[in-house]
Amino acid sequence: MRISMRADYGARAMMDLAEHYGKSRTQSADIAERQAVPESYLEQLLTSLRKAGLVRSVRGPTGGHDLARPPSEITLGDVLDVLEGVSSPVACMDDGPCSVSTACVLQDVWREVADSYQRAVHAITIEDLVRRHAERTSRSMYHI
């Protein structure tokens, strides 16, 4: 399964917001700079995430963005579902029985793969990602 740049940027934006959760709203320009995401594209992602209830946004000079729920309650799967949609890895899974063979085992395998993927991404919270990032960052600092 291939993760789109849209989903990758969205996940990084959510991690950035999680790092500031409970402290202050974060300006999209700051997120864009820290995460190396074009700001205009980031705004589109944040709009989608806001409409899905994952992000809150406030306009104005003291405005910005923050998570709508604690990072421990938002999963990577939630973000991917909003930004990529829930889709099947192959088209034949969407059409019912296999059109090539009634004994097609691949359709079952692709369904198992898709189910495993969904379970995995919905088991990882944004808080988990921030913690993993902090651990990796602290380890790399000791190797200087």
The whole-number pLDDT of residue 139 equals 72
Note the pLDDT of residue 31. 97
Selected residue with higher pLDDT from 3 and 103:
3
Query: For position 128, what pLDDT does the model report?
Result: 98
Q: Which domains does the chain have, with CATH numbers?
A: 5-141 (1.10.10.10)
pLDDT given at position 87 = 67
Instruction: Report the candidate in 71, 107, 123, 83 with the shortest Cα–Cα distance to residue 3.
Output: 83
Any idea which residue has 């202050």 for tokens? 24
Q: Distance of alpha carbon 77 from its chain centroid, rounded?
A: 6
Q: What is the mean pLDDT of residues 98-122?
A: 84
In the numeric block, the tokens 């940027």 are attached to: 9
- How far apart CA 78 and CA 10 sit, in angstroms, is 11
pLDDT in tens, 48-99: 999 999 999 999 888 999 999 999 999 999 999 999 987 666 666 665 666 6
pLDDT of residue 140: 66
pLDDT, residue 86, reads 75
pLDDT of residue 108: 83
- What pLDDT, in 10s, does the model give residues 12-54? 999 999 999 999 899 999 999 999 999 999 999 999 999 999 9
* Predicted pLDDT at 33: 97
Predicted pLDDT at 62? 85
pTM (2 d.p.) = 0.85
